[in-house]
Structure 1
Amino acid sequence: MTAASPNLRIVAPRLPTPGSRELAELLAAVAEGASERDATRTLPFAQIDLLRAARFGALRLRKEEGGAGLTLRELLSVVIELAAADPNVAHIVRNHFGYVERFALPSTGDRHLRWAQLVAGGAIVGLAMNEINARSLGGTSFDTRLVARGDGFTLAGVKYFSTGSLFSDYVMIRAQDEADRFVSAIVPADRKGLTLEDDWDGLGQRLTGTGTTRLDDVRVAADEVIFDDESEGFGFARPYTGSYSQLFLTAIVAGILRNAAEDAAELVRTRKRSFSFAPAEHPADDPILQQAVGEIASSAFAAEAAVLAAAEALDRAVASRVDGAPDIDAAHAGALAAAKAKVVVDALAIRAGSQVFDAGGASATKKSANLDRHWRNARTLASHNPAAYKARSVGQHLISGERLPLTGFY
């Protein structure tokens, strides 16, 4: 990993919890130069090093195991702030927190201790899961294969959309074994045969390292492997395990909305010229421009409220797991809330990305201003698991009572 640049402060060892000085300083450091990084496609290795040094990835980990013990609502409130500072950085750590939820925070047993120790020490975990292959409708399959060899295994295959792995210390790789069982392998990012490529060329979220992962007979130790069918209540065997990962994306979109509102206000505040037919001499006094900013700010407020309400629903599902009696009804309620939040927040953010230009006029469209990044980033995130599918499932449930799918990002 590259060292942090000299002009960025490394925060104190105390965890950057909500409302703390450590969090405020960390967010300020991440926000510095975020627009310029987006415009020049400068990957945020230094900013991720700041998160690593601050042990940001341990915020959700239990206090007795070296974390901050935040609830999902508390964590996602921080994610919204981080996304407002730089949505690329927030997106990079999304798969890390998915790993924490699945492997470092089980409901029972102590199999999680090894993985929790990685997180407590500041390690960041990426994910290599998605593949571009043909699959049956509603199903999942991997061409990546785990093959027994000696006292361990080897992995071979190609993964796409490996968001965050380029910046990670470990990579969680999803595969199937010779008996077609689903498995997770958690290996160091510098393991021989594992190649991370920076080949993401999306119009938005340009700096997330969402590239290709190549696995060329990667050696995997037996204790680095977790089979889904041997991990009840742990890992990917948990029902509605994707709801949290989906809501995490929606929290990033809400953060983009907050930043768009701040930029819109700054545009009007500093704007010198106005339209010849404007109702006020100074742009800051123009009620039309004030309304444009107010609408974006109101959208940001509604988006954050939706995300945090859904997070509370997911917290209730987590509480039932911690109590040792996972409640499928609570898990479904959380998935339903996450789906509703996505449908609303995506639409608000995409609209607000255009409204920014209502506040700034033609001069705001200059490439140097890079204000299109809000729309580009929100549009790119919204394209993950399109909202139309979520809206349809929500409507179907309301009409007929049919539950959302157990797997996938629901």
Structure 2
Amino acid sequence: MRIFKFGGASVKDADGVRNLCEIITQFGGDSLVIVISAMGKTTNALEALVRRAYEGGEWKERYEALATYHSDICNELFAQVPEDVTNWLLQLKAALQTAEGSYEQFYDQIVPYGELLSTSIVYHQLSTQQSCVWLDARKCVKTNSLYTEANVEWELTEHYIARALPALLAQGPVITQGFIGSDASGKSTTLGREGSDFSGAIFAYCLQAESLTVWKDVPGLLNADPKRFPQAELFHELSFQEVTELTYYGAKVIHPKTIRPLAQRNIPLYVRSFVDPTGTGTKISESEKVGVKPCFVFKDKQLLFTLRVRDNSFVDESKLVRVFQALDQANVKINLMHSSALTFTFCMDYSAVKLEKLQSSLTEEFHVLYNEGLHLATIKNYTPESFELLPPLGEVILEQKTRNNFQVLYRPTESDEE
């Protein structure tokens, strides 16, 4: 039993779909679950549709572009649009006309159509070559109702997957969606942006799989983004611990939640290239720490949040407890923090919704200041020479250095923004 996960870049067009099916035929073998993301930049397009529809703006032209994109891929593959793909598109259009509830809830009723469409198209292509089964992941992946960043209900999810998958796998590879689940009321939920890797880990954990393979457009896990660092080096093997730390700092090759369920059941993770599927890629497992190369991670769209106590008292433990309670309630992850006698400062990924929640809950006790449009650079396992590889960073706002890691928050230059 193995799990293969394919991201949006692997199925961005008809050739990508054909290539995915060739990889399944060549490397899949028996007893395989295939987890697939939305095609290309479909999730971005759906997010734009959500915003327009929820705010009462014009969305039909963007919808038609999205429908045409998927229909064109179908016509190239099958010379027609399969009935289930047409139905998904019609259901999406109807859902966009009924913007109800909170923005987050509406988002989670719209965005999953990307994965439903992509998996239906891949299913039809693969079924021309071998027997396979399509599964709606929402029937198995059960979550709470924290829309857009739902938490998995593990016991329920394991129960549904264990009950449904064996009979389906007996019929051939099972094709299902990443990124999506459903709550107790049956409403669609999503697991956080780029959450399809996590979906692969959920199925691997619940089925006690032999391995999870994530197919990317890079040869494996690199020590830097090759677009920024052409000299980026491939890791042939890494430990779960090393990769957990890299994802914490913002490395985008693997979703941050992916590692824990795999490590709990000692299921190795392979990162391989769908561009060159014969390459060795990277193996991530419960090994000793082997990653000693400096790793470079860059995150944009950072927000620096500064709290100053209103009564001129110290920022003591009781005040920090209040701050961290607010962070937990707003579901905020801190990327960098600094404390002084009168202020507490932290860096977070920008989110207008989370910013509003924090301001609302902390303004009574603190003066609240924030800076937007910042970038965060991290060097993990730095060496003296590694600092010379950093590009010009612009205005430095905050800098921290430990024995192994270096982080700098900065305001980029105009050329960086471009």
Report the TM range for the smaller structure's normalisation. under 0.3
- Which structure features the higher share of strand residues? 2
TM-score (norm 1): 0.26
Tell me which of the two structures has the higher relative contact order, counting C-alpha pairs closer than 8 angstroms and 6 or more residues apart: 1
TM-score normalised according to structure 2 size: 0.26
